[in-house]
Amino acid sequence: MTSLPFAIAWDYNSWAWKRKQESMDSGFASKLIRDTIQRHGETRGIMTSAVDISELGDIPAEARLPTPHGDFRIRVFHEESTGFDHVAMTLGDMSGPDPVLVRVHSECLTGDALQSLRCDCGAQLDAAMRQIQEVGWGCIVYLRQEGRGIGLHAKIQAYNLQDRGADTLDANLMLGHPVDNRDYRVASEILSSLKVENVCLLTNNPDKILQLQELGINIVERMPIIVGVGRENRDYLITKVDRMGHDIDSDSLNGGD
C-alpha cells in the first residue's frame, strides 16, 4: 500500500488555518498555482514548447458522431509523449467568419460519465454541446487530463481528503500535487490543426485563457459557462472562485438547489 504524505496525518484544522491566512492575500491563488507547478519539477509557469500530436493509421480516426445535441464530427489526436488520445468534436464550419465557439474540456470520468454531483464538469460538457448546436458551429477539445492533471487515482484520494474537511485546493497540496497541473499545449495544437483562427472560449477560468493566449490562440471573446451548481458542489465552486480566481457570480453560486 502506498503511504500518503505526512501532512495528511496532521490535524486538518491546524493545517487549514495557515492556508486561510495566506488566502487573504488577493494574489495568493495565482502565486500558489505557479509556485506549486515549479515545486513539482515543472518550471513552466506556462509551457510553450511544442508537443507532438499525430493522427495514427491508414484509416482516419475521424467519423460522424450523432448526439442528443446534433451530429458532431469526432477526430482523435494521439499525443506521442504520453500515449494519450485526445479528441476534437466539431460541428459546422471552423473557418468563421465569426469567432468559433470552443470549449477546452479536461476529462472527468466521475462527472462526465458517472454523473457525479461533486463537480460541475458533466453539466459544463453538456451545456457546451448544447450551445454549439444552438449557434450552429463550434468545437469541443476533450483533453485526457483527469483531476486537473493529477490522474484518476490521485483525484479520488483528493476526494477522500475532501470528505474529511479539506477543500479541492488543499487536498491536492496535501497529496503533494500541484493545485492545477493541466497543460493546454495539446489543445493549441489541435485548434491549429482544425484551422480555428478566432475563438470565443466557453470557460470560467482566467488561467485557461492566459495559457491558451500565450500558446498563440487568438481568444477574442469569453463566454461564461455556469451550470450544474447545487448543494453537493457549492463549496467546491466557492473554493475555485475564492482561491483559484474562477469567475462565477455570487447569485449563481447561491441559486442552486
> Please, are residues 40 and 178 in contact by the beta-carbon 8 Å criterion?
yes
Cell of 142: 476533450
- Point out the catalytic residue in the list 112, 167, 180, 207: 180
By C-alpha distance, which of 5, 52, 58 is closest to 172? 5
Active site residue 180: yes
Distance CA 64, CA 59 (A): 14
List 75, 103, 148, 182, catalytic entry: 182
5: left (phi over 0), alpha (psi -120 to 50) or beta: beta
Residues annotated as catalytic (active site), given as ranges: 180, 182
